[in-house]
Amino acid sequence: MHMTQLARKLGSNDARLIGRDRFLLMMFGFVLYLAVALRFGLPWANTYLAEQGVLPNETIATPFADYFPMIVAWLAIFSGGILAGTIVGFMLLDEKEDNTIKAMLVTPVSLDQYVLYRVSGPVVLAFIIIMGLVLFINQALVPLWQLVLIAAGASLVAPIAALFFATFAENKVQGFAVSKFIGIAGWVIILGWFVDGPFQWLFGLFPPFLISKAYWMALDGQGLWWVALLGGIVLQAGMLFWIMRRFNKVAYR
């Protein structure tokens, strides 16, 4: 089957699935909530903390606004991709519970075509969510062309997360447990922010951190920001290739 036809058929099925699943609708609602909360909450918190003498204070000279890049990297760039991956991941779990994936093995749709659709879909969704979040929040912005490249790199975490759900969870109940693990992984970005100098690169063992690192370097006007971005893309591509192979094995069980 041609990929365009496959995308049209599976896309319409996905739309119906999302429309009748309250959890998936809630996830889209959370994206909107996150955007509004950060757009208006960050400037308010910066003013409030300064007026209360919390940030800056006698021991900490930096205002809360100096932490905006960390928050945007964590809650918009990284979490935006994770949210897209979670949405698709739970759709995959629905199909897994209904044995849709196994049934597809005896249809004209090859498993490779199906996986390609399930990889490209969350990438596109994540890119839209990340761009929308960062631009709407309107804090700690980099030039648009850099943001496009950073968002594209960050979008690779979405299919990794989606296939992680489908590979290591048997149903939605286990999926919620997996989602907690994935959420905790984002704390690597927060911890890495507070590490200075070359030791910060050690957090690149968690590839999505390198995307955040590229964003911070671009904000600072560092010319080699693209090195961190390229490193993050290559390592995430490796993770994606590995999880795709694991998913293929699970699909044939």
89 Cβ partners below 8 Å, 6+ apart? 161, 162, 163, 164, 165, 166, 175, 178
Q: What is the dihedral of CA 207, 135, 25, 177, to 10 degrees?
A: 20
Measured CA distances, 187 to 45, 79, 184 (Å): 21, 11, 6
The answer to whether residue 105 scores a pLDDT higher than 70 is no
The answer to whether residue 200 scores a pLDDT higher than 90 is yes
pLDDT recorded at residue 173:
85
Contact (Cβ atoms closer than 8 angstroms) between residue 101 and residue 114: yes
pLDDT recorded at residue 151:
98
Spatial distance between the Cα atoms of 85 and 109, rounded to a whole number of angstroms: 23
Q: At what angle do helices 157-168 and 172-185 cross, to 10 degrees?
A: 140
The answer to whether residue 1 scores a pLDDT higher than 60 is no
- Tell me, what amino acid is at 9? K
Spatial distance between the Cα atoms of 138 and 21, rounded to a whole number of angstroms: 31
pLDDT recorded at residue 228:
98
Residues 179-207 have a mean pLDDT of 91
- The overall average pLDDT reported for the chain is 91
Spatial distance between the Cα atoms of 154 and 236, rounded to a whole number of angstroms: 9
The percent of residues above 90 in pLDDT, for the chain, comes to 66
Of all helices (H) and strands (E), which one includes residue 88?
helix 79-97
Q: Summarize pLDDT for 10-58 with one digit per residue, the tens.
A: 788 788 888 888 888 999 999 999 999 999 999 999 999 999 999 998 8
pLDDT recorded at residue 179:
87
pLDDT recorded at residue 111:
74
Residues 100-126 have a mean pLDDT of 80
Per domain, the residue ranges of the chain are: 3-10+30-38+67-251
pLDDT recorded at residue 101:
67
Residue with the bigger pLDDT between 186 and 233: it is: 233
Q: What angle do CA 13, 18, 23 make, to 5 degrees?
A: 150
Q: What residue ranges in the chain does DSSP mark as E strands?
A: none
27 Cβ partners below 8 Å, 6+ apart? 83, 86, 87, 90
Q: Summarize pLDDT for 51-94 with one digit per residue, the tens.
A: 999 999 888 889 999 999 999 999 999 999 999 999 999 988 88
| Max avg pLDDT among 156-160, 173-177, 179-183 | 156-160
pLDDT recorded at residue 154:
98
Return the minimum-mean-pLDDT range out of 15-24, 119-128, 131-140, 197-206: 15-24
